[in-house]
Amino acid sequence: MALGHKADKSFFDRKKPWSRHKDLVLNYYLPPYLAKVGRLGSPILLVDGFAGPGKFGDGSRGSPLIIAENAATAFHRGTAVRVLCIEQDVELYSELVTNTATYPMVECRNGTLQNFLPDIASAAETHTVFLYVDPYAIEGLDWAAFDTVFRHVQASSMSIEILMNFNAVAFVRRARAAMKMTAPEIEDGEDETSDPADSLPIGSELLSRAVGGDWWLDVLREGLSFPKEVGAIVDGVCRCLGKRFKEVCHLMVKERWGHAVPKYALVFGSRHPHALMLMNNAAARSREAFADMEKPGSPTLFETRPLDLVPDQSLLRKRLRDLAASPMRRIELVQTVMRREFGHFTDSEITGCIRKMLTEGILVSETGKAIINDFVRVWTRRS
Ligand SMILES: C[S@@+](CC[C@H](N)C(=O)[O-])C[C@H]1O[C@@H](n2cnc3c(N)ncnc32)[C@H](O)[C@@H]1O
């Protein structure tokens, strides 16, 4: 398959600011994930399916090194974990081999992820598998091929998860070009760094192959605004993943907080509600790290940072009041909030807010106490 010009290796000269977000999420997610699945007793396989060279020209770590370092920590604690890094480009592959040489649990392979999916699918019968998919844009996404691994979510009892960087903006641009529709209209300043290659038409069959069907044509026919169209495509991809994974969530990563159009969506699929909680916390912690960086130098009377960077705490209280209209165990309430407001609040923020609302008498617990465990049922007091 022909690659767009992003395959130009200048991509790896300097890490783009918005790429740091996916790195943070990965780096926050892997330690609790490895601790958790390490206790399941099965060997763990972490796959970086679009690995790149491992290091950028500015010295920053690429995903293979982030994964390798986390795996090494778990490995030295006695967890049976190995890492498979796959890179298509021969030169980048050779850099990858050099950059990961000090990690004995890392294996590098030259070829496409598709080439190695049969090996990954058979490993999924005996291993816990985490698959990280980070292509340049649309090329390399092959839903039917990926599904040979995803189907093990239902076919085997093993834990399989995917974290995918999905460039929905490139998808919509290319889909519009393929359908000979006008280019999307974008707010001023929201698209300074877009890549012209993202507007090159590719055949509609390649677009359908990337997202598991031609459902995207219906989205285009709706005549939505560009940000809504991008959101609807991400929702469609999540629905496709939802056919295999019980828990699917996504995070929109923007070039600047407050923008309407994301640079990419990080889409996550797992069968475990507990994994949803870990990923939610990783997303919330990475957002908090950015919020800290953007804190004004001197204190301000009102919050000046955008809501997608610093979520409104009153939204959490409102959500809890609405969602607890019928009784549910505290853990279910926490997970339901996370599904609605993914990455906005950590589990401790949500449980802290539940406790406060129990103290205030806005929520009621079946024990009558404000300090409760995950299995105590809570509900909203009727006024
Ligand atoms: C966006 S870069 C990955 C960056 C990397 N995840 C990181 O954070 O450092 C995509 C990489 O995938 C490689 N690639 C493209 N198509 C591929 C395929 N089908 N299978 C494996 N690698 C592929 C490209 O050569 C490129 O190095």
- Note whether 267 and 323 are same-domain residues: no
pLDDT of residue 360: 98
- Note whether 144 and 212 are same-domain residues: yes
Distance of CA 57 to the CA centre of its chain: 25
Q: Which atom of ligand 1 is nearest to the CA of 54?
A: 9
CATH code for the domain in which residue 44 is found: 3.40.50.150
Distance of alpha carbon 330 from alpha carbon 316, whole angstroms: 15
Cβ–ligand 1 distance for 63 under 6 Å, the answer: yes
Contact status, residue 48 vs residue 84, Cβ threshold 8 Å: yes
- Please identify, among 271, 305, 340, the residue that sits at the C-terminal boundary of a domain: 271
- Note whether 42 and 98 are same-domain residues: yes
pLDDT of residue 303: 75
- pLDDT tens per residue across all 383 residues of the chain: 334 444 567 889 888 878 899 999 999 999 999 999 999 989 999 999 999 999 999 999 999 999 999 999 999 999 999 999 999 999 999 999 999 999 999 999 999 999 999 999 999 999 999 999 999 988 889 999 999 999 888 877 889 999 999 999 999 999 999 988 887 766 655 555 566 566 666 889 999 999 999 999 999 999 999 999 999 999 999 999 999 999 999 999 987 777 778 889 999 999 999 999 999 999 999 988 877 777 778 877 777 777 777 788 889 999 999 999 999 999 999 999 999 999 999 999 999 999 999 999 999 999 999 999 999 999 999 87
pLDDT of residue 291: 75
Q: Does 325 reside within a domain?
A: yes
- Note whether 230 and 330 are same-domain residues: no
- For 359, residues 6+ apart whose C-beta sits below 8 A from its C-beta are 370
- Asked whether this complex has an ipTM greater than 0.85, the answer is yes
- Note whether 72 and 189 are same-domain residues: yes
Q: Considering only CA atoms, which of 87, 25, 92 is closest in space to residue 252? A: 25
Q: Which atom of ligand 1 is nearest to the CA of 89?
A: 25
Distance of alpha carbon 373 from alpha carbon 350, whole angstroms: 13
- Note whether 66 and 176 are same-domain residues: yes
pLDDT of residue 289: 82
Contact status, residue 325 vs residue 60, Cβ threshold 8 Å: no
Q: Quote the ligand 1 centre to 51 CA distance (angstroms).
A: 5
- Please identify, among 271, 302, 335, the residue that sits at the C-terminal boundary of a domain: 271
Q: Does 308 reside within a domain?
A: no
- Note whether 151 and 11 are same-domain residues: yes
- Please identify, among 240, 271, 302, the residue that sits at the C-terminal boundary of a domain: 271
Distance of alpha carbon 99 from alpha carbon 6, whole angstroms: 22
Instruction: Report the number of distinct structural domains present in the chain.
Output: 2
- Note whether 191 and 124 are same-domain residues: yes
Q: Does 152 reside within a domain?
A: yes
- The structure tokens 């069959």 sit at 205
Q: Quote the ligand 1 centre to 211 CA distance (angstroms).
A: 18
Which of 24, 50, 108, 164 gets mutated to test ligand 1 (max ligand atoms within 8 A of its CB)? 50
Instruction: Kindly state the helix (H) or strand (E) to which residue 226 belongs, with its residue range.
Output: helix 226-242
Nearest CA to ligand 1 atom 16: 140
Torsion of Cα atoms, 172 then 276 then 107 then 92, to 10°: 30
Q: Does 40 reside within a domain?
A: yes
Nearest CA to ligand 1 atom 1: 136
Q: Does 251 reside within a domain?
A: yes
Q: Quote the ligand 1 centre to 32 CA distance (angstroms).
A: 26
CATH code for the domain in which residue 360 is found: 1.10.10
Cβ–ligand 1 distance for 93 under 6 Å, the answer: no
pLDDT of residue 19: 86
Cβ–ligand 1 distance for 134 under 6 Å, the answer: yes
373 is in which domain, residue-wise? 313-380
Q: Does 171 reside within a domain?
A: yes
- Note whether 250 and 122 are same-domain residues: yes
Distance of alpha carbon 305 from alpha carbon 248, whole angstroms: 28
- Note whether 248 and 318 are same-domain residues: no
pLDDT of residue 5: 41
Q: Does 300 reside within a domain?
A: no
Contact status, residue 129 vs residue 120, Cβ threshold 8 Å: yes
- Note whether 317 and 260 are same-domain residues: no
The number of beta carbons lying within 10 Å of the beta carbon of residue 141 is 23
Contact status, residue 380 vs residue 361, Cβ threshold 8 Å: no
Angle between helices 90-99 and 63-76 (to 10 degrees): 30
Nearest CA to ligand 1 atom 12: 50
Distances (CA, A) of 50 to 187, 201, 290: 31, 23, 26
278: helix, coil or strand? helix
pLDDT of residue 90: 97
pLDDT of residue 195: 66
- Note whether 347 and 203 are same-domain residues: no
Q: Does 117 reside within a domain?
A: yes
The strand ranges marked E within 10-94 are 44-48, 81-87
Cβ–ligand 1 distance for 113 under 6 Å, the answer: yes
